[in-house]
Amino acid sequence: MTKPTFKEKFHYWFDGKLAKGTLSMIRMLTTSILILILFIALIVYFFSFHENNSFFNAFWDSFASTINASVLYSSEGKIGYILLMAISAIIGILFTSILIGILSNAIEEKLKSIKYGNSKIIEENHTIILGFNPNTYQLINQLCMAAERNKECIVVAGNTEKDVMHQLIRENVDIPKNIRIKCRNIDILNPNDLNYCSLPTSKSIIINELDDNTTIKILLAVNTILKDYPDLNTNIVASIKNEKKLIPANVASNNKATIINIKSFVARLIAYSSMQLYFSNVFTELLDFSDSEFYIKTYPSLINKSFLHATLSLVNDTPIGIIENNKVILNPKSNSIINEDSKLIVFSKNSKPSSILKDVYFPKFEVPTIHKKEDNDKNIAIIGYNDSFETIVSELKMFNKTIYVADTKNMNDINVYKNKNLIDYTIEDDIKNISTLEYIVDNCTKIIILSDNTLTDDEADNKSINILLLLRNIRIQKNIKFSIIVEMNHKSNKSLVLDDDETDFIVSSDIISMIQTQISKEPCFISLFRELLSEKGNEVYLKSANDFVNIDKEISIARVRAAALKHNCIFLGYIRENSSDFVSNPNLKSRVKFNKNDKLIVISED
């Protein structure tokens, strides 16, 4: 092996100095200039190029000519002296130019660093969103509404330039004055980069990634930092599409994160929406922070009182459950006692405590009998196929639905479920064909349009919109009444289509963002939402008002709440006939008159 040459050694040394940064380069430049000045001074001194032949004067003349290159320090002396001073002046010009270049580059790098947002976050109780994509806007919007008027900081970290993130957020979200948005351009898979977000001092971390494998890697990176802080109660929320990745995700987070199964939530929401018109609107209202939402509150004056007493005394809040020993009890019995350690889960418009009636009136009345209505919507059609298909058909079959499936690309997969008796009829034809859609309309009263996961989000939404418009046209031409449930990927695409009374839209990205925000505030709510979208336990129902109260007569909301509890139901609000607007959490003191086609929104077991 040959030894490196002097030139190679010099280049290696020089590269090392440059790599050390701006200060190292300035030191190296200054040292070089001083050596040259010293060398010129020695020449002047030894060859006596000046009358006043002293080394100090020679050094000073050389130094002065270098730092003031526009004018020679002295024009007196021999020709050699003048030439050497001219060389000093040239060296000074070069020195100044190089120094300006070094400083300019340093300033540019600093501005670039500021642009990328690489300074460390110095905040406490802030919310961190790891991952920047279109879902980020809905997350920020929900967090802003959840904050109410409280001052909060939201940190958004992703592989996008800081100023670009800020601009896109401003364009897509109205940020109130009480909310501060901080963006950081970092590698969210790198624990060292994540330190810039100050994870240990945050109150919640939302992992906003579209890919399951990336989500698991981020959980590992987050756990690498937080494992050194075992006493922290930071809420970590992540979503997974593939159910098989749930266990790895929990292991990656050391079981400290709340993992949401996106496919399961969206699929169940689609299934339940197909059985109850306006269900998706109602459930979205329950998740959304724009009006009433779920809160955990404590009321010392209600200790040792019954759940019925709490229901009929809270003016602005609707109790829906109790938390005891960190366990959520949804829709407890009306005689359940609120203990000293109990907390109430309430449906409320804000986090403030509700006013409480001092004199509680317990109405006495005959409770109407709820008559089971004949199921006239047994036939349901599913147009398309995606990852949610199995969960949807499984849920529908539990309610003895007859299922038609129309598709062309995925018939092999669909026939597997037909062999399992999960679906009844298959239609292998072009789903944009008018005759195919007319056949579906003639046989089914509910139609589900699934998003095509093999296309991009926008392409899939466009495909769903085209099918929806064709079905609406058939509805008008044939004057047939049927409802349509459409799965969409983005709210912006949904807004292109006019709403009508027979169409429910389920925007999957919005639903997940809302659930993530809810759980980032209260992790125990995950069990609440799972129960509400499960065949076991309590669910959300739209029931006829005349099954609970006497209609065509003005009554108090307190009476409606009491009537619902008599049927083991929690009254959340109501929907008027021929309207999809959900009147949520009406004031206990208000009065209302229902007609026979109005619907009450309740939580019950059946």
- Three-class secondary structure assignment of 362-425: CCCCCCCCCCCCCCCCCEEEEECCCCCHHHHHHHHHCCCCEEEEECCCCHHHHHHHHHCCCCCE
Q: At what angle do helices 508-521 and 279-287 cross, to 10 degrees?
A: 30
34-43, 286-295, 487-496: least confident range? 34-43
Fill in the DSSP letter of residue 200.
Answer: G
259 pLDDT higher than 60 = yes
Q: What is the pLDDT of residue 169?
A: 95
For the chain, percent of residues with pLDDT exceeding 90 = 37
Q: Round the CA-based radius of gyration of the chain to a whole number and report it.
A: 35
Answer with the residue of higher pLDDT: 346 or 68. Answer: 346
The total of other beta-carbon atoms located within 10 Å of residue 110's CB is 11
Mean pLDDT on 528-557: 87
Mean pLDDT on 579-597: 87
Mean pLDDT on 215-223: 92
167-176, 369-378, 408-417, 541-550: least confident range? 369-378
Mean pLDDT on 78-95: 76
3-state class (DSSP) for residue 156 = strand
Answer with the residue of higher pLDDT: 64 or 530. Answer: 530
Helix runs in 495-524, H state only: 508-521
- CB contact at 8 A, 217 and 244: no
The total of other beta-carbon atoms located within 10 Å of residue 214's CB is 15
User: Which residues partner with 181 through β-bridges?
Assistant: 154
Q: Rank 24-28, 105-109, 195-199, 395-399 by mean pLDDT and report only the highest.
A: 195-199
Fill in the DSSP letter of residue 337.
Answer: B
How far apart, in Å, are the Cα atoms of 532 and each of 97, 287, 473, 553? 71, 12, 34, 31
Mean pLDDT on 523-531: 88
In terms of Cβ atoms closer than 10 Å to its own Cβ (0-12, 13-18, 19+), residue 321 is buried
- CB contact at 8 A, 346 and 319: yes
* Residue 195 pLDDT grade (very low, low, confident, very high; cuts 50, 70, 90): very high
Q: What is the pLDDT of residue 205?
A: 95
Cα–Cα distance measured from residue 56 to residue 67, given in angstroms and rounded to the nearest whole number: 16
3-state class (DSSP) for residue 204 = strand
Mean pLDDT on 435-442: 92
Q: What is the pLDDT of residue 280?
A: 85
- CB contact at 8 A, 29 and 95: yes
| Alpha carbons within 13 A on the beta-carbon side of 231 | 0
301 CA to centre of own chain: 37
3-state class (DSSP) for residue 327 = strand
374 pLDDT higher than 60 = no
- CB contact at 8 A, 74 and 61: yes
3-state class (DSSP) for residue 253 = coil
Cα–Cα distance measured from residue 305 to residue 569, given in angstroms and rounded to the nearest whole number: 19
Cα–Cα distance measured from residue 197 to residue 132, given in angstroms and rounded to the nearest whole number: 14
Cα–Cα distance measured from residue 164 to residue 154, given in angstroms and rounded to the nearest whole number: 16
Amino acid at 203: K
* Tokens linked to 215: 């989500």
369 pLDDT higher than 70 = no
513 pLDDT higher than 80 = yes
Q: What is the pLDDT of residue 249?
A: 82
Q: What is the pLDDT of residue 168?
A: 94
Q: What is the pLDDT of residue 368?
A: 58
Quick: pLDDT tens for 22-77.
787 888 878 887 888 788 778 877 776 766 667 777 777 777 777 665 555 455 55
* Residue 109 pLDDT grade (very low, low, confident, very high; cuts 50, 70, 90): confident
187-201, 310-324, 362-376, 454-468: least confident range? 362-376
Cα–Cα distance measured from residue 372 to residue 543, given in angstroms and rounded to the nearest whole number: 11
* Residue 114 pLDDT grade (very low, low, confident, very high; cuts 50, 70, 90): low
371 pLDDT higher than 60 = no
* Tokens linked to 41: 């001074």
Q: What is the pLDDT of residue 376?
A: 57
Cα–Cα distance measured from residue 255 to residue 260, given in angstroms and rounded to the nearest whole number: 13
* Tokens linked to 142: 């929900």
**Mean pLDDT score across all residues of the chain:** 85
Answer with the residue of higher pLDDT: 569 or 280. Answer: 569
Q: What is the pLDDT of residue 117?
A: 55
49-63, 72-86, 548-562: least confident range? 72-86
Q: What is the pLDDT of residue 126?
A: 94
For the chain, percent of residues with pLDDT exceeding 70 = 91
100 pLDDT higher than 90 = no
Q: What is the pLDDT of residue 60?
A: 74
* Residue 116 pLDDT grade (very low, low, confident, very high; cuts 50, 70, 90): low
* Residue 222 pLDDT grade (very low, low, confident, very high; cuts 50, 70, 90): very high
Pairing outcome for strands 343-348 and 318-324: antiparallel
Cα–Cα distance measured from residue 542 to residue 483, given in angstroms and rounded to the nearest whole number: 16
Mean pLDDT on 527-541: 86
16-25, 48-57, 200-209, 468-477: least confident range? 48-57
Helices (H) and strands (E) in the chain, counts: 20, 22
Q: Is the Cα torsion angle 82, 87, 93, 96 positive or negative in sign?
A: negative
366 pLDDT higher than 70 = no
Q: Name the residue among 282, 291, 334, 285 with its Cα closest to residue 310.
A: 334
Cα–Cα distance measured from residue 488 to residue 356, given in angstroms and rounded to the nearest whole number: 42
322 pLDDT higher than 90 = yes
Quick: pLDDT tens for 122-172.
999 999 999 999 899 999 999 999 888 889 999 999 998 888 999 999 999
Longest Cα–Cα distance of the chain, Å, equals: 124
Region class of 515: left (phi > 0), else alpha (psi between -120 and 50), else beta: alpha
Answer with the residue of higher pLDDT: 203 or 54. Answer: 203
